[in-house]
Chains A and B, each alone.
Chain A
Amino acid sequence: MPVRSVLEAIRDALREEMADDERVFILGEDVEEGGVFRATDGLLEKFGAERVMDTPLAESSIIGVAIGASLNGLLPVAEIQFADFILPAVNQLISEAAKLRYRSAGDFTCPMTVRSPYGGGIRGGLYHSQCVEALFAHVPGLKIVCPSTPYDYKGLLKAAIRDPDPVLFFEHKKTYHLLRGEVPDRDFTVPIGKAEVRRRGDDLTVFSYGLAAHYTMEAAERLSGEGIQATVVDLRTIQPLDRATIIDEAKATGKILIVHEDNLTGGVGAEIAATIAQAAFEYLDAPIMRLAGPDVPAVPYAQALEDWYMLNTDKIADAMRRLAAY
């Protein structure tokens, strides 16, 4: 099976979906020349300027125009160059895209995908590093996907493009070239709303997603050598959460760690912790533990500060050891 980086998997998914369905088109800043991360490289040459379209540098218009195009028979894939820059478009996402189906009782719908690189670790400073998934996870009507493996990136992006509802597809930019894995050349999808159990162990369960899920797997392998066996669940979808898997896997070990790069307060971990506390309280053998980004406004720039902010395998392994010893 071919080996692909995350970025290549994304590009493959875009190219295949555009080839299979002429309704799919891309709009965003600098997408014609391939985009700042090269995710759309080569697509203009293959599909033409009507399907790979540069937009004015105005994010609300990118999302608003995508909504309008989706109303008239197209399947837009909008690129927001950095997730930090999605904030000018929040009104279009929350007031419009998330509510269009509900406010018309299904008479109007908005099948569009918004791709955006998020997360730190590339010296992006405050405004090229943020995780924004928790901001949108409070909004019914949106779907939010944060994959970690190249296989899931391809399968979930295809699923997002085919989904009848608006999907925010967040791509951890540090993983674009860092992570490689086997990805079939053939067409396949990964279902939105399904978590994946990456490994099984009896001592504790760790829930994570994105880059943090990759580090968590490394930490779990390291701890396995120390005699601590962890179950690792990659959430993959943030909205709607796979509550059934979360509850089942929490019950299985009774010791729960939730790991995400996004800052702690009001983060995705809080919802997972509350879900487990409500549905699996009797199964718990330790307080639910969260390891998350510190509650500062964003990731600071200097290397020492960025390292302080970011998760890594060591930090996660330490938290897992503490929980296992409880």
Chain B
Amino acid sequence: MATARESARRSTKQGAEPHVGIPNDQLLKMYRDMVLTRRVTDRMIALQRQGRVAFFISGQGQEATQVGVTHAIKRGTDWVFPYYRDQGVCIALGMTARELMLDLFGKAEGPCSHGRQMPSHFGHAALRMVSGSSPVATQTLHAVGCALAAKLRGLPEVCITSLGEGSTGQGDFHEAMNFAGVHKLPVIFIVENNGYAISQPQSKEMAVKDVADRAAGYGFRGSVVDGNDIMAVYQTTRWAVEEARRGHGPSLVECKTYRIVPHSSSDDDRRYRTRKEVEEWVKRDPIDRFQKYLLGAGILSEETDEQMRAGIEEEVTDAVRYAEQAADPDPAEALKHVYAHQPTGFP
């Protein structure tokens, strides 16, 4: 079994040509997914500040982790149990800017909850991304159960579940890891370690430096990767997915990253972290980093980049226009879907 440190070495050792084996069009798609995620969430922040939507929450700065992980799975076959910062997972999985905006505006057509949940409670049946709640880490058990069903049914499916490092204090996370380890299930725990659980630094959440160390206690592999290095995230997750699909059991991948925005539109992060710290991380922006990499490797040109970004601006503007004008949910429908068949006889 690889220890966290060995796995970390493995992912950095591939440093020279980390993109080898990944087709150029996929590298460009990964890059586009990251930029689209950033621009969609930028616009969401603006919409909230303009008072056009009530609430917003994102993981800006975590795009390399989210997009890298999602490109490593078989989309449409594998199952995804995300958490509330995972706009990058949604986009890389195939959700459109329109769909994310419909969710933000709470519209009937929104695929996540059709206007029933706050924004960012992602779910999309056609994409096998399962609806989640607000209490954290509950989804990890659903991923484990889904993986159990895949194993029992002999299906070649892998389940991915993501959560913040703060959520790893929850009992459900540990119960999920334990169950997955006992039954050697095809499930991968992605810990998006952005250093903070709202205002609380990691030191107040756990007494260890790496969440990945926990995996050994449950009998499987834990890896630490630079979560702002999309190639490292992709390669490590890819390896974990292949292991899971071969029947070699679960993995934990801890992606060290940083949220460069406040926790949510209701949060003021100046109360708990310095501007200097945030600025340092902004300099390590994963999108700039990947852009430089692709330009340097001759995979992306300045011209292609500009064209792509112009296309994204149009896409986001269209999405806002479409979602804002879309129909609100009808209160007459709000009693539906409590049960498959609504009970009769209520007074």
Contact = CB atoms under 8 A, between A and B. Distances in A.
Interface stretch (A28-36, A93-101, A174-182, A200-208): A93-101
B271 interface: no
Contacts of B133: 95-96, 99, 103
B130 A108 contact: yes
A107 B128 CA distance: 11
9 closest cross-chain pairs (CB), A and B: A68-B145, A64-B141, A72-B149, A240-B343, A61-B175, A65-B145, A68-B142, A105-B114, A164-B340
Interface string B225-240: 0000000000000000
A140 B135 CA distance: 18
A72 B79 contact: yes
A76 B142 CA distance: 13
Interface stretch (B16-24, B83-91, B176-184, B253-261): B176-184
Interface in A53-81: 55-56, 58, 60-61, 63-74, 76
B153 interface: yes
A193 B343 contact: yes
Contacts of B182: 56
A182 B346 CA distance: 33
B212 interface: no
B145 A64 contact: yes
Contacts of B337: 101-102, 104-106
25 contacts: A56-B179, A56-B182, A60-B172, A61-B172, A61-B175, A61-B179, A63-B141, A65-B141, A66-B145, A69-B148, A71-B79, A72-B145, A74-B153, A91-B135, A92-B138, A101-B337, A105-B116, A108-B131, A109-B340, A164-B340, A241-B345, A242-B345, A243-B346, A243-B347, A244-B344
Contacts of A106: 336-337
Contact of B148 (A58, A68, A241): A68
Nearest to A68: B145
A108 B149 contact: no
Contacts of A109: 340
A70 B336 contact: no
A161 to B, nearest CB: 14
A195 to B, nearest CB: 11
Nearest to B178: A56
Contact residues on A (Cβ < 8 Å of other chain), bracket: 35 or more
B286 to A, nearest CB: 30
B131 A58 contact: no
Contacts, number: 154
B146 A64 contact: no
A272 B196 CA distance: 48
A283 to B, nearest CB: 15
A103 B339 contact: no
Interface in B191-250: none
B38 interface: no
B185 to A, nearest CB: 9
A165 interface: yes
A105 B340 contact: no
Interface in B21-55: none
A312 interface: no
A25 B183 CA distance: 15
A279 B346 CA distance: 11
A141 interface: yes
Contacts of A92: 138, 141, 172
Given A56-B179, A64-B175, A73-B153, A105 B144 contact: no
B116 A74 contact: no
Contacts of B117: 103
B119 to A, nearest CB: 13
Contacts of B343: 193, 240
Contact of A68 (B147, B153, B347): B147
Nearest to A56: B178
A60 B171 contact: yes
A20 B149 CA distance: 18
Given A67-B142, A68-B149, A70-B145, A58 B113 contact: no
A11 interface: no
A164 B341 CA distance: 9
A287 B262 CA distance: 58
A45 interface: no
Contacts of A173: none
Contacts of B153: 72-74
A43 to B, nearest CB: 15
Nearest to B329: A105
A164 B339 CA distance: 8
Interface in B296-347: 336-340, 343-347
Interface string B149-186: 11011010101000000000001100110110010000
Interface in A152-173: 164-165
A61 B131 contact: no
A47 to B, nearest CB: 12
A189 interface: no
Contacts of B157: 72
A143 interface: yes
Contacts of A64: 138, 140-142, 144-145, 172, 175-176
Contacts of A107: 111, 123, 125, 131
A107 to B, nearest CB: 4
A280 B185 CA distance: 55
B131 to A, nearest CB: 4
B175 A100 contact: no
Nearest to B143: A68
Given A96-B133, A101-B339, A105-B337, A69 B146 contact: yes
Contact of A102 (B112, B155, B172, B338): B338
A275 interface: yes
A127 to B, nearest CB: 19
Contacts of B143: 68
A60 B141 contact: yes
A70 B142 CA distance: 9
A61 B149 contact: no
For B112, B114, B130, B345, the residue with the greatest tally of chain A CB atoms inside 10 Å of its CB is B345
A107 B113 CA distance: 8
